[in-house]
Structures are given as C-alpha cells and as structure tokens.
Structure 1
Amino acid sequence: MTAPPTKEEILSTMKEAEPLLAFYDELSSEEKSKLYKQLSTLNLSEARQWFVDSEEQRSPSSAEDFRPIPRSHHFAQTELHEVVLDQLWNTGMDAIAKGEVCAIVLAGGQATRLGSSQPKGTIPLGINAAFGDSLLGIQAAKIALLQALAGERDHQTPGKIHWAVMTSPGTEQATREHVQMLAKHHGFDFDEQITIFSQDEIAAYDEKGEFLLGTKSSVVASPNGNGGLYSAISAHLPRLRAKGIKYFHVYCVDNILCKVADPHFIGFAVSKEADVATKCVAKQQGELVGSVCLDHGKPRVVEYSELGAELAEQKTSDGKYLFSAGSIANHFFTMDFMDRVCSPSSRLPYHRAHKKIAFVDSNGDVIKPEKPNGIKLEQFIFDVFELSERFFIWEVPRNEEFSPLKNHQSVGVDCLSTCQKDLAYVNELWLNRAGAILNTTNRLFLKTMASYNGENLQELRHREITDQSIETDHEINKFFVNH
C-alpha cells in the first residue's frame, strides 16, 4: 500500500486545504489516505469562488416580471379527451418500443431526514408491491412492465428503456448493489441497459466561507444538488446517443407514485416538439413549493418567497391560482437539449442553504449546533429551463402521481405511512374504474407488475374483492400483494 502524502506535499498543490489538515499528523496512515482522497475530489480552489459567487444571486425579480406559463403551453391531463390521451400514450409507447427513452432517477441524496443510513431508494417500504420492496424496486418493475406492454403491441423485438441512476459518493455502492439485484430479477442486461454514475460532492462552509471538518479525518461535504446531473452525465451522453436514445425522463427517487418513463408525458412532449417539459401539480393554499412560471419571458421555477404572498394567492376568474403550476421535480428533455447544456464544466449557479452542520473545532471536539451555523451549496435541475426554446407544462393529478418520501415517520407528512396510504388510494381508484367491487377491511396493494396505469384489470370487473378472496382465490390474488 502506497504511503499517504505528507502535509507539505498536499499543500504544495492544494494550499486551500491547510485548515483541513489541522490534525493530519495525529491520523493513522489509513485515515491520512482517506482524507487525501476526499480532498482530491472536492475542487477546493474553485469551491472558494463558488461560495463568493453564490452570494451574488440573480438580481431579484419583481411582480411585474412574473407571468404564468401561457395556456397554449400548459396542458392538464384531466382536461383532455380520452381519444387524445390514447394518441399520446401510443406516441410514447412507440418511442419506448424503438428504444428511444432513457429514464434518469436522481438518487444521490442521503436519507438524513429519514434517519436512515441506507440510500433512500433502497429502504424497505413494508409493502412488497414489487421485488426488492423499495422505491427503486417499484421503479424497476414499472420499467419491466412498460417494456412488456411495448412488446405486446409491437409484435416485434421491443426496445429497452435505458435506466440511468445518479448516485453520489455516499450512496453509490449500496445503490449499485441494489440495482444489480433488481436488474438480475427482471432480466435487464446490467451493462447494456443500466448506467450508474455519480454526481460531485461539494464541501460545506461556515458562515464566513471557511471549510469544515466533520471528523479529524474527513471534510463536511454533501452532493451538489439535483442540478449536478448535467456535469455528471455529460461523459455518458455520446454512448446513450449511439444507443438511439432521443428522450430523457428525469425524476426523483423518493416519489412512490412516479410513473417512470410515463408514455402519456413522453407522448405529449414529443407531439408538441418540446425540448423541455415538466410535470406539475396544481398548487394548494399556503403550499411552499416552487411555481413554474415566466420570469422576463423565460421559464423558470420561482420559490414561494420570491413570488411573494400576494402573487402566490392571486386567482383567476375560474377560482384557480394564477401561478398554479407546482414543481414536483419530474422533467422531460430531448437528447439535443441535453447535448447543449451538459458538459464536464457545466456550472449552474450555486444556491445557498443555511443548515445546522456538526463540525470539529480547533480543539478537536465535535460541536453539534442547535441553530443553523453554516452553508451548503446546491445546484437546481430547473435552472436550465431558461435555455429551452419550446417549453411545456404537463399538469397531473397530485393524488395519482405525487407522494414523496422525505421525512421520518414522526413528522406525519411525506413519510412512509403517507406513501403507503397514497399508493393504496391509487390502487383502489384503478380497481373502482375497472368495475371491481371492493369489500375489504385491510388496505389493498396491487402488485406493481399487474398494472401501470389501471389497464389490464378487466378480469376483476364485477368481481367482489374481499380479504379472503385475496388470500384464497387465484384468479384474484394474482393481482394483489397478499399480506
């Protein structure tokens, strides 16, 4: 094993690291190597400038600068006729059958708010709706199901949906192992069909812009935000283009209701010749999610605080919010657009988040602050929207498509129990639409592979679904998770 560099050797190429080497001489050889490896990846010289630049955010916009996305570019799925929806579905399925679709899951975040040491996408859900019983497990099953549906309608060799998984240094290994297991189960060719890549980490700062040690042998660092996608995936785009990929569906790992590679969404964007499209839900009163709107005529996501309470609460003549498009981090991009915005040096602006950050002080003691004491920087995926030339919104029903797993169970919102409840609600909705008669005391979960969007449930029409029939009747229980 190579001996770690001396303190002087590190400082000869990385003078910004000096405060982070305060305890270097006390460290074991292994700890020194670990710290040096981390320092080498953090780009500390540029990180100093990022902190300075992040203070000078775009000049604030005023109420006169904001406009809703025009109705000609904002379509609500629930307002479209079934014939139109079928056409969009077929357009999306054609793209899938031809192997033109890549689903990118943003899975680099650490599940700190959940109190878990596992990556969020691998945490057991306690549902068993899909192999792996995880968010990634449900998403893999949806990809497998869509491929099967594309094969049925195409009567040829169906295309594969390419699955790209963005991890971070802290989630990469566990996520890779979990996805390898899922790929083997579903018969995905791991090397051909799956790309796992890691976003960069960025060092955290104290309020003066100084870097922080988390332990004597590690720097406080975290993934650089979902906007880190563009620099991280750039090296993989030529290979994906060579495979015939034309369209990307980008989504967050934490949404249990996400329709991965949604044919309706892809079909809509393709039919409109969109280079960028985003899924939204209608905002609810007092909700603090970002609004998709125009700022000086360019699309972007505006935070509630920037929009201001007056504009945020303004309504149209039909009683809907004027700025109604709530962002849910669910996007469509063409390959040509990604080629334009992605490069290894893609540097979207960094945004500041004021956080409580535990750190090691000059005495070597770990300090756990009670109030925010530092700054983490992150890039936002939607900061490329303003570069779009044909931008559209696809509005979907919140209760059918958006239920994120963000919080510990004790919070009671966006937690495991609400995800379970919301998934059961969608499954019951599909069963009611199919004409099944529900008469159960337990919560119902369909197997993910049984239906993507409520289709293929016609066998259950006029059938009574009871707790007993789910356990004992094979014609019924093949559709359901049997608890």
Structure 2
Amino acid sequence: MTTRRPTTRDFADFLRHSNQFENLQYFEKTLTEEERDAMSASYFSNCELDWNQLEEKVNNALAAKSLTDSFYTKRQLVFSSEAISNPALNIFDKRSSLAFKWNELGLESLIRGECAVCILAGGQATRLNQGSTTPKGCFVIPYLPSQKSLFQILVEKVQKAEIMAFEHHQRCPGKIISYPRIPVLILTSEENNEETKNFFRKHELFGLQECQLFFLTQPMLPVFRFESMKSLHPLSFIFKSQTEVAFAPSGNGAFYSALAVSGLSKHLRDIGVRYIQICPVDNPLVNIADTAFLGLCIQEKIDVGCKGFSVPIEDFNKNAGVFCADFASSTSKVNWSILEYSELDENLLARHGKRERHDGYVIANMAVHCLSLSFCDQVWNSQNKLSRQAYSESTSMYHIAKKNIPTCQLKEGVVEGIKLESFIFDEFHQAEKLGILIVDKASEFSPIKRADSPLSDIKDFGKVPEGTPLAARLAILRNDLRQLPFGSLRDMNKLSIDMDALSFEIDPMVPILLPTEMLRLGLTKHDSETQEEIPKK
C-alpha cells in the first residue's frame, strides 16, 4: 500500500486548521502556483508532525522556561566546597594522584578499541562570520599560523591519542598489538550535512580511514513566530523565502536516536566499543579521546561522565551551563541536571549565591561527556517507547532559543523567531551513576561563540573578551607553551603576549610528554607551586 504524497492543498489546509490566517493569505494571494508547490514540498519533506504535536512541543518548552526558577529551588547549584565534602556526588579532580592510574586504564582501553568519539557539529558559523552559512567546524581560527579548521584541530587530537596508545603498548614486552583506529562520529544537521561531508572529502578525511569516520544527522523542526501567550493564536510559521518555511536543527539531543536508527550503535557494539566521548566542535582546546577521563569512567563504573571547572559565581559568564543536583532526594542517588547557559538567570544565580556554607565557586559544564554505549541504548529504548505512545503522553523536553530568522514577509527581511532544541544532557537523569571530572579551564575550555571585535580596538591582549576567535587563539598559544617541559601553569597564565607571539604554534603530532609521564620522570613538581587547587572554603 502506497502512502499519498501531501499536496499544496494539504499545506493550505494545514495553515487554515492551525489558525495561521495571515500566512494562509500570503500563501494563497502572494505566491505563484510554482512557489506554492515548492513551499509545500519543502515543508512536508522536513516535517511529519501535525500541528497539535508541534504546538504541544512549543507550549511545553515555554512552560518549562517559565518554571525554571521553581524547578531549581529543588535542584540547587553545586558548589566546589560541597563537592569536596560530599563523596556521594562523585566529583573527581584531574590533578588527583589517581590520574596516572586513570591514564593507564584509558590507554589500555584505547588499544582494545573500546572508545569512540563524537563531535557535535550541527551548527552554522553565522555568528562567527557575519552572514556565513558554512558549517561551524569549517571555521578557521584567525591568526593561527597553520590555518587549520576546527574540524582538523579536533581530528588531529584523535590521531594523537591513537599514536600515544600505540606507543604506550609498544613499550610493553611480549605484547603483539595492532594500531588502534578510534571511530569518529560527526553529528551534523540536515542543513549542513552534505557540506560537512564534502569538506572532509576535500581534505582527504584529514588522514582518517573511511572505515572509522561516520556521519549522523539530527532532524529539523520549524521555527515559529511567537506573538504572546495572551494572543488567541500566538504561534505561526515563518516563511524564509517564497519557496521555503524556516526550519532549524532540533538540537544535539537527537544524538541518541540518530545513533540507534542509523544502525551505528549496533556496529560499534559489534566491534567492541564500550564508551563514546562527546565534545562540541567550537572548543579547539578540548581534550578529545582523553585517556584519563576514559580511565576514570572505567574504574568508577560511571555511565555518564562529565567534565567541568570551578568558577566564582560572580564571574560566571554565559559560555557554559552549570551543574545542579537534587539534595532532597529520598534515595541515595543524586539526581543531576544541567542548567544551559542560554537559560541562566542572574536572579537565580544571585539567590543561590546567598546560600550558607559554600565557597562561592560553582561547577560549570564544558559540554564534554563520556557516555557508556549501554546508557545510549537505554536512552533510545526509553525514547522509542514514548514515541509509540500518544504524543500527549510524551515527556520529551525541548528548550526555547530566540533567534533572528530571515523572512520574505517583512520589509526588514528578518524577524525574531523561537526555535526548539533538545540537548544531550536532558537525558542524564536516567544515568545509574554520573561523575564529574574537574579540569583546568585554561587548558581545556575556550569555545568560540561570537565574532571578534576589530583588532585595532584591542589594546590589551590580557583583556580579550571570552568566547571570541582571538581569545581561543591566545588560549591555544598558552596551551602550547604549557606543554613544554618545565613550564609552570601559573607562569603561562600570566604570560604577556604581543602580536609577534601569535606566530608560535606546536603541531599536535610533535611528541610532548604527558603531565603524568613528566611526574614519573621527575621533570616537574605536583604541588601548589605549579598547580592551582580547586578553591576551598
């Protein structure tokens, strides 16, 4: 039995039944027959949900946003002092004396082929290059001598991890091993999937083998024009052009379904993968395929590992989310959640900042995770079960993001719209055991979120705004210098930098001793003179 393809009349009826009368009039009176056909086809090829389902998703997300304050009176911000004094929170420090053991376990796991990595790359570089529609991972950081893209920087870090694992085991007498190939997953969106694939082909996969590179795609959802909840019909589509309804990626929360539906989850399980390390494409400092992080998750039997860093609550910026926990739970299990940076409210931070018995340092989320493959399967099974129920029973969570959307319906050519997106951490409440690894922010976190100011406006390189390409470039430089033997972490952070220094860059394939190896060889000290402690009360 064949399914009837939706027609132009079906789309007009859709607009009529959803009370989008202004859009209906524009559709029927302004567009030509060919344009109406093209717009109808573009909509139905991207979305199979009916209006009731779409409207419910938006209303639930709006309600969740308005209830953020009351929700987080139960789930409180976690402060560093509480983390140190409460072992049940499963918070660990990468500067721990156990890090050497974690690293050994991680290297062993890599050589056995038990870890894959996934780069979250569904976004465009719109805010980095004004008006750019190229995938964010194709962005080249200005002033970087090698002129490498974000994709190349991250892929080379994976290759460096492969080399380290292989060389580590070559030093083990009597062991015959094959060269490890870490599976690399790229989560794209439908709007940048083909361009991302072409970019990798153009650069010969950056040295990866075809058998280890996989592309996953997150679906698209319509973007809405939102008048007011007081309005009789507050929601309506935005016509991007005379042949297209505006759509946007549904968020990296689609990772679980994409992994399962593509068959990749089964493939990874068949080849022995047990963990997937996940990172965003916009952080060039990220330690991808981190062996210490992997080893920690293995040793502590953690099925959801997260990386974070301590930051004073008064200095908190909106480049990262924050960890929250339900301390009032009747069970011994801690219920974790993450408040996304786009949803942070200054009043909420101020209210929690007045709590007693804390040091004023919250734990920020770096969006770097290590998930067990069994946890990913568990999430998909629960989502799949819900999807078979009536949509009104679904507990799927979406977040609201406001965005300027191009439109052909206004003279200004742009309108503020709302998009729905889900996040990978929305499902972390299902974890049997969640653990957080505290790392040094300066070494591992400098995401690129917005464009640079003109270089002529920057008088002091020590005061470059965070979240910009230049800030990331300076962080890479300091990180390169920090890797050199005998370099002091504290000295590197205070290093005075000028334009000439920006010509210095270390190739990731150059063998640099790991901090744990330097400790073993006595090349550096592991004390308060060279390491910054987690702030204590």
Query: Is the CA contact (8 Å cut-off) linking 2:200 and 2:206 kept in structure 1?
Result: no
Structure 1: which amino acid aligns with 2:59? V
Tell me the distance in 1 between the aligned counterparts of 2:248 and 2:441.
30
Tell me the distance in 2 between the aligned counterparts of 1:118 and 1:183.
19
Tell me the distance in 2 between the aligned counterparts of 1:308 and 1:456.
36
Q: 1:446 to 1:454 in 2, by over 3 A?
A: farther
1:56 to 54, 58, 63: 63
Trace 1:12-51 onto structure 2 (pairs within 5 A): 19=23, 22-23=26-27, 26-27=31-32, 29=34, 32-33=37-38, 36-45=41-50, 46-51=53-58
Tell me the distance in 2 between the aligned counterparts of 1:313 and 1:249.
35
Shift of 1:383: 1.0
Q: 1:30 to 1:216 in 2, by over 3 A?
A: closer
Q: Give aligned-pair identity as a percent.
A: 23
Trace 1:250-329 onto structure 2 (pairs within 5 A): 250-284=278-312, 285-287=314-316, 288=318, 289-295=320-326, 296=329, 297-302=334-339, 304-305=344-345, 307-312=348-353, 314=355, 316=357, 319-321=359-361, 324-329=362-367
Farther off after superposition, 137-146 or 305-314: 305-314
Residue aligning to 1:477: none
1:368 to 378, 402, 414: 414
Shift of 1:376: 1.4
Shift of 1:366: 5.6
Tell me the distance in 2 between the aligned counterparts of 1:395 and 1:90.
19
Query: Is the CA contact (8 Å cut-off) linking 1:101 and 1:162 kept in structure 2?
Result: yes
Structure 1 residue 355 corresponds to structure 2 residue 403: yes
Tell me the distance in 1 between the aligned counterparts of 2:271 and 2:35.
42
Tell me the distance in 1 between the aligned counterparts of 2:123 and 2:58.
21
Say which SS state the counterpart of residue 210 (structure 1) adopts.
Answer: strand
Shift of 1:256: 0.8
1:331 to 359, 369, 373: 369
Say which SS state the counterpart of residue 501 (structure 2) adopts.
Answer: coil
Tell me the distance in 2 between the aligned counterparts of 1:313 and 1:407.
32
Query: After superposition, what is the alpha-carbon deviation per residue over 1:235-267, rounded to whole angstroms, capped at 9, x for unaligned?
Result: 221122112111011110000101111111111
> Structure 2: where are the runs of 5+ without partners?
171-176, 227-233, 388-394, 455-464, 522-537
Tell me the distance in 1 between the aligned counterparts of 2:201 and 2:144.
18
Shift of 1:56: 3.0
Say which SS state the counterpart of residue 305 (structure 2) adopts.
Answer: strand
Tell me the distance in 2 between the aligned counterparts of 1:101 and 1:203.
35
Structure 2: which amino acid aligns with 1:125? I
Residue aligning to 2:154: 139
Residue aligning to 2:458: none
Residue aligning to 1:224: 250
Structure 2: which amino acid aligns with 1:159? P
2:139 to 83, 101, 123: 123
2:93 to 76, 79, 87: 76
Structure 2: which amino acid aligns with 1:414? G
Q: 1:30 to 1:67 in 2, by over 3 A?
A: closer
Structure 1: which amino acid aligns with 2:191? G
Tell me the distance in 1 between the aligned counterparts of 2:114 and 2:25.
49
Q: 1:204 to 1:340 in 2, by over 3 A?
A: same
Tell me the distance in 2 between the aligned counterparts of 1:21 and 1:183.
49
Tell me the distance in 2 between the aligned counterparts of 1:173 and 1:121.
13
Query: Is the CA contact (8 Å cut-off) linking 2:240 and 2:406 kept in structure 1?
Result: yes
Shift of 1:199: 0.5
Two-structure CA RMSD over aligned residues (Å): 3.4
Residue aligning to 1:480: none
Query: Is the CA contact (8 Å cut-off) linking 1:16 and 1:44 kept in structure 2?
Result: no
Shift of 1:127: 5.4
Q: How many residues align?
A: 442
Tell me the distance in 2 between the aligned counterparts of 1:403 and 1:49.
36
Query: Is the CA contact (8 Å cut-off) linking 1:277 and 1:331 kept in structure 2?
Result: yes
Structure 2: which amino acid aligns with 1:87? K
Shift of 1:113: 1.3
Query: Is the CA contact (8 Å cut-off) linking 1:172 and 1:198 kept in structure 2?
Result: yes
Q: 1:28 to 1:232 in 2, by over 3 A?
A: farther
Say which SS state the counterpart of residue 164 (structure 1) adopts.
Answer: strand
Structure 1 residue 385 corresponds to structure 2 residue 428: yes
Structure 1: which amino acid aligns with 2:44? L
Tell me the distance in 1 between the aligned counterparts of 2:36 and 2:513.
51
Tell me the distance in 2 between the aligned counterparts of 1:427 and 1:54.
42
Normalising to structure 1: TM-score of the pair? Answer: 0.81
Query: After superposition, what is the alpha-carbon deviation per residue over 1:95-149, rounded to whole angstroms, capped at 9, x for unaligned?
Result: 111111110110001222112221111112245676x711110111111111122
Query: After superposition, what is the alpha-carbon deviation per residue over 1:269-323, rounded to whole angstroms, capped at 9, x for unaligned?
Result: 1111001010001123331442212135410013542844131465756x452xx
Tell me the distance in 1 between the aligned counterparts of 2:426 and 2:36.
38
Name which structure has the greater RCO, CA cutoff 8 Å, separation 6+: 2
Say which SS state the counterpart of residue 198 (structure 1) adopts.
Answer: strand
Query: Is the CA contact (8 Å cut-off) linking 1:99 and 1:158 kept in structure 2?
Result: no
Query: Is the CA contact (8 Å cut-off) linking 2:77 and 2:352 kept in structure 1?
Result: no
> Structure 1: where are the runs of 5+ without partners?
462-483
Trace 1:177-256 onto structure 2 (pairs within 5 A): 177-182=198-203, 184-186=205-207, 188-190=208-210, 192-207=211-226, 208-235=234-261, 236-256=264-284
Trace 1:97-116 onto structure 2 (pairs within 5 A): 97-114=111-128, 115=130, 116=132
Structure 1 residue 449 corresponds to structure 2 residue 509: yes
